[in-house]
Amino acid sequence: MATPGSRPSTTATPVRRLAGTSGEAGSQEALRPRLVLFGDSITEWSFRPGGWGAALADTYSRKADVVVRGYSGYNTRWALFLMRRVFSLDGLPPVATTVFFGANDAALLGRSCERNHVPVVEFKENLRAIVNHLKVCSKSMVILLITPPPVDKDGRERFARSLYGYNPSWLPERTNEMAGVYAGKCIELAKEMGVHCVDIWSKMQAVEGWQKLYLSDGLHLTPEGNALVHKEVVGTLRGARLRAEVMPLDFPHHSKIDAIHQERSFQ
């Protein structure tokens, strides 16, 4: 299971407000900074019990809002139609964004999920377009690419049989080798564009028995797989100066509220 994040400090600090608000009664609510998770089903399901997104929200509790923008079955080609709506140039940009695509792009042609397939060269250029858009949204945003996870062929076969029964002609729609090709392009792009990258494909396979330890159906994550993603994302964010333990609370800790003159604590 994911390790609970750091607890809030007790230092009361000024709150962040929407641009154009006065801070007076009736104005818009104060904002926490946002961490946006953009990706496919592995991101969409990250707030399920034991998920890496839920663990991230716990780590940054009262420090930042973790916003999930995950779309099951999506590839980077379809993500391009979403990015300008998810990341508007008119709104307040997130302080950090994870981009976690590739598992669907790497689906094989001629197999059951070929409609999700995106050629690897196009995959890399689609990621480049997403990163470029995020950089236009904010010059200071922390951008973190996450490679697709490895694929356990036997796990995918067992999963398919559980859904459709035994079919000797059924072939896995993904392979670990192809996932590795897409992971490599993700890493290449991160280096080219000077953004962060977590190589989940390699990190998972460094552990013996990764197939069952980290993957529930040969592709999606177990609680242990989610915990690994959470650990790597938090480590990267900490390295980019988004350390939860030193980030300000949005409002004073309850122990710092003046019980006699409460209003003074919120000025």
97 touches 144 (CB < 8 A): yes
**Is residue 265 annotated as a catalytic residue, yes or no?**
no
Dig out the tokens for 124 from the structure: 């890399």
52: left (phi over 0), alpha (psi -120 to 50) or beta: alpha
Q: Which among 6, 41, 46, 169 is annotated as catalytic?
A: 41
The CA distance from 14 to 250, in Å, is: 7
Taking Cα atoms as reference points, which of 73, 54, 65 lies closest to residue 97? 65
Please give the DSSP secondary-structure letter assigned to residue 87: S
DSSP, collapsed to helix, strand or coil, labels residue 58 as: helix
What spatial distance separates the first Cα and last Cα of the chain, rounded to whole Å?
40
Q: Could you give the angle at the alpha carbon of 185 between the alpha carbons of 183 and 186, nearest 5°?
A: 65
Give the residue from 168, 235, 157 showing the smallest Cα distance to 197. 235
- DSSP code per residue over 234-267: HHHHHHTT--GGGSPPSS--GGGS-SSSGGGGG-
Residues carrying an active site annotation = 41
